[in-house]
Structure 1
Amino acid sequence: MTENHREFGALLRIWRDHTTPAAVGLYAGSRRTTGLRREELAALAGLSVDYIIRLEQGRTVHPSAQVVAALCRALPLSDDDTAVLHRAAGLAAPVGAISHLIPAGVERLLLRTTDAPVAVFSADWWLLSWNSHWAALLGDPAALTGRDRNLIWRDFTGDHSRVVKTEAERDAFRDTLVADLRIAAIEHPTDTNLHALVADLHGRSADFSARWSAARPARHESNRKTIDHPRVGALTLDCDVLNAPGSDVHVVMYSAAPGTEDASRLDLLRVLGVEAFTA
């Protein structure tokens, strides 16, 4: 018996003991314990009582994803507890829809960062929030509506960005966006909004379809970008993409090396303030 098998069995017993019959729609009746009986869990999960016993005793090797999912539904477990039980079984936990909620810590970081343009995107590259310096550099995203708030949609269907790209840089940028979106699609197979976005991109852009077919799933990486600003001129900045621990949101930040002309222009933009986004 391996340590993982013992841990899985222990977790299963703990959650069975802490799940009341009322929580799963069963009549409690007269019983010595408050939790579910093995027979009840077996019936709810569509498994045999003997199989439940072997799972709890760690005598069954590698329960399938279908079995673990059935147990999670039967108990029923929260998303966090579902992930823990899957990991104990040596499986990757299923992931639902992409969250568009910004963790409190990331929101505080956004509010406190005043000397650099910062924005927060979801895993499928919807713009969720930004600071005033971001709006001053790239134009105020408040003017964008619908799918124009999605970075990938806007890039493949009519980009109006101030970011200047050579043909090679545009190709590299689109490749990384599509590769990252494929990661999101793999990790969130039941997200209907995400898959509708991908389907509509296929319908609108042959370039997207070609890149999607060829893309190797990979995370978006940091790089350097040149922004052609109508008031302060061209700025070449570092663009860093950070992922918050425990969340799949992307924190994107622009910065310049201290003492450079680019840093001076970036500081000037903070003083000039927000300018509305224009096509």
Structure 2
Amino acid sequence: MADRNALAEFLRTRRNRLRPSDVGLPDGSNRRLPGLRRQEVAQLAGISVDYYIRIEQARGAKPSRQVLTALARAMMMTADERDYLFRMGGEHPPTVAGPDRTVPRSVRIMLDTLGSPAYVVDASYEILAWNRSAIPFIGDLDATPQHERNMVRWMFSQPTDHPRLSEPDTLNFLRSTVADLRVAYARYPGNPELARLITELLGTAPHFAAMWNSHDVEVRRAHHKRIDHPDLGVVEFECQVLHVADTDQRMIVYCATPGTRTAEVFRDLASLTAEPR
């Protein structure tokens, strides 16, 4: 349901926070008040000044999706601001075409400076970036095409009689991953790559099909992991999931308890510092 008064107030505050130079207009010297004028917003959005004034005064017809989209673009709103604008206007926020795969520079710096194995995945579990310490666990993916770097595909590529698929911890991990993937499937309806991945796994991985058909929905959270690594031996750690703001990406960090053998292993791996991929 639209909240005309909240919509009007929100537009006024956004308009007053923008400078003309922010949107490519001259600042001028005869402005008595900060922010954009109503006619400037209307011009940038491609609507009439009278119509925009009525919206800001909570009068007239409810703005259409096209008008809300134009206003969000004209005022350079963030994704969160745009979604709020749509909701106050009585509309569902626009859907996003697909998971964001551009890793922020600051996140790459974090990968390079962390003393633990870490990597970044998008909402469909494509591995986008990783540090040197993570290579013993996920492999060196430089020579692997991007579309073959999917964690979910790897996890369900094992034969159905693989011993690990009967371990409670492994099954819980797989269930939470599939439940999180269903969240992404709802968030990006019609995304062809995500749809292809799910269709493929439904046809090739019975365990995936059974978990998918349970319709569990759960955003991925931290979990405990124990791995008998062929080169590193047994390591135990907390697999922490850090959500990267505005990208729907996750940084997965392996956190060892201080003073344990695993912590020593991670320190040794960190000494092989290299640029993150």
Change in Cα spacing, 1:41 to 1:169, as seen in structure 2 (3 Å) is same
Task: State the match for 1:260 in structure 2.
Answer: 260
Task: State the match for 1:153 in structure 2.
Answer: 153
Is 1:135 matched up with 2:135? Answer: yes
Task: State the match for 1:126 in structure 2.
Answer: 126
**Does the CA-based 8 Å contact 2:125-2:152 persist in structure 1?**
yes
State how far apart, in whole Å, the 2-side matches of 1:13 and 1:145 are.
45
**Match among 80, 84, 89 for residue 87 of structure 1:** 84
Instruction: Give me the CA root mean square deviation.
Output: 3.7
Matched residue SS, 1:268: helix
State how far apart, in whole Å, the 2-side matches of 1:35 and 1:272 are.
53
Task: State the match for 1:196 in structure 2.
Answer: 196
Change in Cα spacing, 1:108 to 1:98, as seen in structure 2 (3 Å) is same
Task: State the match for 1:30 in structure 2.
Answer: none
Matched residue SS, 1:58: coil
Which whole-Å deviations, capped at 9, do the CAs of 1:98-136 have from their partners, x for residues lacking one?
Answer: 1101112111101112x2101111111100111111113
Is 1:218 matched up with 2:218? Answer: yes
Comparing 236-245 with 199-208, greater Cα deviation is found at 199-208
State how far apart, in whole Å, the 2-side matches of 1:134 and 1:233 are.
15
1:231 Cα shift?
Answer: 2.2
Counterpart code for 1:5: L
Matched residue SS, 1:134: helix
State how far apart, in whole Å, the 2-side matches of 1:87 and 1:203 are.
39
1:138 Cα shift?
Answer: 4.2
Task: State the match for 1:24 in structure 2.
Answer: none
State how far apart, in whole Å, the 1-side matches of 2:238 and 2:250 are.
16
Which whole-Å deviations, capped at 9, do the CAs of 1:181-217 have from their partners, x for residues lacking one?
Answer: 1111211224222222222222222322221221322
Gaps of 5+ in 2: 25-38
**Does the CA-based 8 Å contact 2:127-2:149 persist in structure 1?**
yes
Counterpart code for 2:84: R
Matched residue SS, 2:263: helix
TM-score after normalising by structure 1: 0.72
Comparing 118-127 with 186-195, greater Cα deviation is found at 186-195
**Does the CA-based 8 Å contact 2:165-2:171 persist in structure 1?**
no
Task: State the match for 1:41 in structure 2.
Answer: 47
Task: State the match for 2:111 in structure 1.
Answer: 110
Change in Cα spacing, 1:137 to 1:13, as seen in structure 2 (3 Å) is closer
Task: State the match for 1:277 in structure 2.
Answer: none
Change in Cα spacing, 1:84 to 1:137, as seen in structure 2 (3 Å) is closer
Give % identity.
Answer: 26
State how far apart, in whole Å, the 2-side matches of 1:194 and 1:108 are.
28
Task: State the match for 2:9 in structure 1.
Answer: 7
Change in Cα spacing, 1:143 to 1:236, as seen in structure 2 (3 Å) is farther
1:227 Cα shift?
Answer: 1.8
Change in Cα spacing, 1:270 to 1:228, as seen in structure 2 (3 Å) is farther
1:165 Cα shift?
Answer: 6.8
1:226 Cα shift?
Answer: 1.2
Task: State the match for 1:71 in structure 2.
Answer: 67
**Does the CA-based 8 Å contact 1:147-1:153 persist in structure 2?**
no
TM-score after normalising by structure 2: 0.72
Counterpart code for 1:155: M
Matched residue SS, 1:4: helix
State how far apart, in whole Å, the 1-side matches of 2:231 and 2:174 are.
27
1:144 Cα shift?
Answer: 3.7
Task: State the match for 1:57 in structure 2.
Answer: 57
Gaps of 5+ in 1: 21-32, 43-48, 275-279
Counterpart code for 1:104: R
